[in-house]
C-alpha cells in the first residue's frame, strides 16, 4: 500500500509535524501483527521512518462493531438514572 499525503504546511511545519504523525501511525500499526514500514519525506527532504517486523503470535484485537456498540449505548442512555443493570 502506498499512501500520499499532500498538505499546505510550510517546510518548517512539516518537519515538526512529521515525527508526531509517524509516532501516531506507528502506535496504531504496532497493535497489529503485520510487517510494515512507514516513511515520511518532507518538502525539505528530511526523512522520518518507522518499521516493524510484525508478530504473527500476537493475537489480533477484537473487531469493533459500531452498530452493537451504538445500540448498547442508546439502551444505557434510555434507562432512568436510578435503574439497576439487569
Ordered per-residue pLDDT tens for the chain, 86 residues: 888 888 899 999 999 999 999 999 999 999 889 999 999 999 888 999 999 887 655 555 555 555 655 556 666 666 665 555 55
pLDDT at 80: 63
Q: What is the dihedral of CA 12, 28, 53, 17, to 10 degrees?
A: 0
33 lies in a domain?
yes
- The residue behind cell 518507522 is 50
Total-model pTM: 0.57
5 lies in a domain?
no
The alpha carbons of the chain give a radius of gyration, in whole angstroms, of 20
3 lies in a domain?
no
pLDDT at 86: 52
Range of the domain at 63: 11-78
Q: Tell me the C-alpha distance between 56 and 51, whole Å.
A: 15
The total number of structural domains that make up the chain: 1
- For residue 51, the cross-strand partners are 37
85 lies in a domain?
no
49 lies in a domain?
yes
Amino acid at each position: 500500500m502506498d499512501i500520499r499525503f499532500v498538505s499546505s504546511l510550510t517546510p518548517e511545519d512539516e518537519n515538526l509535524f512529521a515525527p508526531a504523525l509517524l509516532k501516531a501511525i506507528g502506535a496504531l500499526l504496532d497493535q497489529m501483527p503485520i510487517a510494515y514500514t512507514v516513511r515520511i519525506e518532507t518538502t525539505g527532504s528530511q526523512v522520518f521512518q518507522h518499521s516493524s517486523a510484525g508478530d504473527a503470535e500476537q493475537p489480533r484485537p477484537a473487531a469493533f462493531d459500531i452498530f452493537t456498540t451504538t445500540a448498547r449505548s442508546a439502551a444505557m442512555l434510555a434507562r432512568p438514572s436510578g435503574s439497576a443493570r439487569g
